[in-house]
Amino acid sequence: MTDVAETPPPAPAPDEPSTLSPRDESRVALAVNFSNLADQALKSVQVDPDAAPGALLRAALDLQQQIDKVVASAVVAERERGTTWDQIGAAASMTRQSAHEKWYKDVRAWAALGRTARPNKSNFATTLEYAAAVDHRYAIVHPSRPQAVTSGLDVVRFPGSQAYEDSLRARGSALHSQFRELSKTVKELDEERHALQDGGSDNDSRLAENSLRHAAMYDEIANVYEQLVTAEPALADEHRAEAENHRATAQNDRKYAALLQPQG
């Protein structure tokens, strides 16, 4: 089979949305990863009597990496459909905390990248085109299911839901943009802090001022995450955790600034 990324896209419908709901996007991403896993496994089925030493193991390890990607995308899809970390832990035969520690970064990265199934460089103008390409490949093996992926998407089953999802996406996108701008300022303050620390105790007053500005930025970032709780309700647990972490960092910065202040 041809890789999904190389499959010629079908012509899009005139009113086809370029981006679907995060729930649909996560399902398409999972379907794509499963399809790529199947292709990779099939390529490894053949027996090559002239394979170099270690080639068979490398092929298996490459497949294991793809499996890890499938599992991570499955966790993301579960979170987008409202599955709790307790339920994810139970499904993986581990505790809630262990599941959260194992896959939290994957969910966070998904949110930071816009919650979309399509890669930055894609042959597909819309996610539905991407899903249709997987449909086509699946139907070669299972012709009785010509729309195995797209028929299960909310945008197909409940077309009226797209407007509401678009409004949430617009708000979430604006908040993520705000977060990126604040993060740039934090990076600049970090660089300034390192330069001041290299200068020794003579810079204590300026370092204290830097820490207070740093704390203010982290408080603003915490505010953004608190707003994301309602803009991206499926990921509310992640956003609350980030808000708490940034509040704690801001508090530590203020304590550090107090230590640097001259004692009266």
Query: Per residue of the chain (264 residues), what is the pLDDT tens digit?
Result: 445 655 544 444 545 678 889 999 999 999 999 999 999 999 999 999 999 999 999 999 999 999 999 999 999 999 999 999 999 999 999 999 999 999 999 999 998 888 999 876 677 889 999 999 999 999 999 999 999 999 999 989 987 777 778 888 888 889 999 999 999 999 999 999 988 888 766 778 899 999 999 999 999 999 999 999 999 999 999 999 999 999 999 999 999 999 987 665
What per-residue confidence (pLDDT) applies to 2? Answer: 46
Cβ atoms of residues 108 and 79 within 8 Å: no
What per-residue confidence (pLDDT) applies to 39? Answer: 93
Burial of 128 (0-12, 13-18, 19+ CB in 10 A): buried
What residues contact 222, with CB distance under 8 A and at least 6 apart?
Answer: 242, 243, 244, 246, 247, 250
| Structure token digits, residue 131 | 């899903």
What per-residue confidence (pLDDT) applies to 228? Answer: 94
What residues contact 20, with CB distance under 8 A and at least 6 apart?
Answer: 28, 127, 128, 153, 154, 155, 162, 165
